[in-house]
Amino acid sequence: MTDLTPEQKYELITRDLQEVLNPQIIKDILQEERRTLKVYWGTAPTGKPHCGYFVPMVKLAHLLKAGVEVTVLIADLHAFLDNMKAPLEVVQYRAKYYEWVIKSILKSINVPIAKLKFVLGSSYELKPEYTMDLFKLSNIVSQNDAKRAGADVVKQVANPLLSGLIYPLMQVLDEEYLGVDVQLGGVDQRKIFVLAEENIQALGYKKRAHLMNRMVPGLMQGGKMSASDPNSKIDLLEEPKIVKKKISQAFCAPGNIEDNGLLAFVKNVVGPIYELKHGDNKFEFFIDRPEKYGGPITYTTYQDLEDAFKNEELSPVDLKSGVADAINGLLAPIIEEYKNTTEFQEAENKGYPPPVVEKKVKKVKNRGSKYPGSKDEKSESAPKAEKVDQVAEQLEKSNI
């Protein structure tokens, strides 16, 4: 937006973030250089995107509203390096699926995507100059530093692969090769951002600023919402009845607002999206409650909602009902686009094929040799019958 002041742009860019590293870099570009700020957000296409992806999408909306040039990196090689969660041919379809999902989410919350640029990691990460810089960086960063940097991002296993150490080094280089001023990510990527700030200048490249979104607790069990844990997330293509069923099983103790995934989702997703659609400082959360339990109720500030739950004026059942309805409202346009788009469906089907269920081979029960009709019994009885016939024949001859 050209009519925003540098201060207003900075407020939008940093709104609702948990932390900003090197904010002065952003301020200098907006106030002194007076040029368009360039930001990238990267995502590795591993597990299927879930409702937690609404959080970075809201921030991308803020950035676009502030006139920022936004690049979305679909980090396909990073996905391959993350303990080989999928072969490259499958990752290619997952990358397409992620692009469809991201565009669909942004369109569903009325964010114009014309100025959004999508880049596939393998389109430049396989070039000789990138590889050379990767070698140079690996000659500067210690094994321990690389391992620590990726600890909260790369899947940790008992016997880690070398790929887990390459992953954070590539994320450091991506800032330079995408030509940006700022990288956006979750606070779980803080160690990689610090690694970049400490080492990228040694390669002759400029230091960047880093924006960090807060992590939204899992809707069902608290803790981090994870694509690899089906019990902690709701898929973006989840059917309404499944959403209601999952939310009904969510942990939500009466009056407990600590680590409450449902309240956190309203605060970090439902509220900000309503504000994007209806204007700054606007909030509305509706619960369609039966008359016998007090009738429908609307909260016009998040604090009112939180206070009502804390004081046990709002029951867990009612909160769950409102959150389930809000999520289904957010997912409806995404599901509709998926059902009407063949390419979207193909990307999902080939990127996440159903697991092959091996047919159980029916084991032949060995009941031993003494059960009636067994082969052994039949074979044993044959000579006995023969002997009886012989004796009968001899007796008959002796009586003649």
3-state secondary structure of 107: helix
Between CA 4 and CA 375 the distance in angstroms is 92
Are the CB atoms for 106 and 113 separated by under 8 Å? Answer: yes
Looking at every residue in the chain, the average pLDDT score rounds to: 87
Between CA 14 and CA 62 the distance in angstroms is 9
Structure tokens at 211: 């924006």
Q: Which candidate, 333, 41, 23, places its Cα nearest to that of 178?
A: 41
Element (H, E) at 22: none
Per-residue pLDDT, averaged over 87-114, amounts to: 90
Is pTM beyond 0.85? Reply is: no
Domains of the chain, start order = 6-213 (3.40.50.620), 240-351 (1.10.240.10)
The shares of helix, strand and coil residues in the chain, as percent rounded to the nearest 5, are 55, 10, 35
**Residues with Cβ < 8 Å from 188, sequence gap 6 or more?**
152, 153, 215, 224
Among the residue ranges 57-61, 85-89, 221-225, the one predicted with the least confidence is 221-225
pLDDT digit string, tens, across residues 155-206: 666 677 788 889 999 999 999 999 999 999 999 999 999 999 999 999 999 9
pLDDT more than 90, % of the chain = 67
